C-alpha cells in the first residue's frame, strides 16, 4: 500500500515538474523573442559594407603619427530611434513628468532624440530624463 502511495506521489511530482519546465520554456522563449526584436535592428546598422571599407583603409598621408586626423572631423554616427510603442510613449504626462521637461525632447520640431515620430510636449515615455 505504501508503494502505491509513493508511486502516485512520484507521478504527481513528475507532472508538476514537467508543467513547471514547460511554463519556464514559454517565458524564456518570449524573453528571447522580445530581446532579439530590439537588438537585431541595431546590430544590422553596423553591417554596411561601405563603412567597413572606410575603416580598413590606410590612414591618409596628412594624418599625424598618433592616428588622429586633423584635416577633417570624425564622421557623424546615425542615431537609431526607438518606436513609440517600445518605450510606452503616451500623450499624457505621468507623475508630473512631461516631454517638454525631458533632456531628449526637441521643442522646435516636437520630436525626440531617442524616440521616432511626432512627440507631444505633454507626453511621456520610459526614457524620460529630467533636464538639468
Q: What is the residue extent of each domain of the chain?
A: 1-58, 81-132
Q: 106-123: buried (b, 16+ CB within 10 Å) or exposed (e) per residue?
A: eeeeebbebbeeebbeeb
* Contact in structure between 86 and 52 (CB atoms under 8 Å): no
Q: What is the pLDDT along the chain (132 residues), one digit of tens a residue?
A: 777 777 777 777 776 676 666 677 777 777 777 776 666 666 666 555 555 455 444 445 544 455 445 555 656 677 789 999 999 999 999 999 999 999 999 999 999 999 999 999 999 999 999 998
Q: Which CATH superfamily is domain 81-132 in?
A: High potential iron-sulphur protein (4.10.490.10)
pTM (two decimals): 0.43
DSSP states along 38-62: HHHHHHHHTT-HHHHHHHHSPPPTT
Amino acid at each position: 500500500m505504501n508503494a502505491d502511495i509513493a508511486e502516485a506521489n512520484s507521478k504527481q511530482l513528475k507532472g508538476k515538474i514537467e508543467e513547471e519546465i514547460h511554463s519556464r520554456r514559454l517565458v524564456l522563449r518570449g524573453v528571447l523573442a522580445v530581446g532579439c526584436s530590439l537588438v537585431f535592428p541595431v546590430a544590422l546598422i553596423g553591417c554596411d559594407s561601405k563603412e567597413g571599407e572606410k575603416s580598413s583603409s590606410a590612414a591618409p598621408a596628412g594624418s599625424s603619427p598618433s592616428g588622429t586626423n586633423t584635416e577633417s572631423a570624425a564622421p557623424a554616427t546615425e542615431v537609431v530611434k526607438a518606436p513609440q510603442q517600445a518605450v510606452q510613449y503616451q500623450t499624457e504626462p505621468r507623475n508630473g513628468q512631461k516631454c517638454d521637461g525631458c533632456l531628449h525632447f526637441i521643442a522646435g520640431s516636437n520630436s525626440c532624440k531617442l524616440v521616432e515620430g511626432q512627440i507631444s510636449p505633454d507626453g511621456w515615455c520610459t526614457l524620460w530624463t529630467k533636464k538639468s
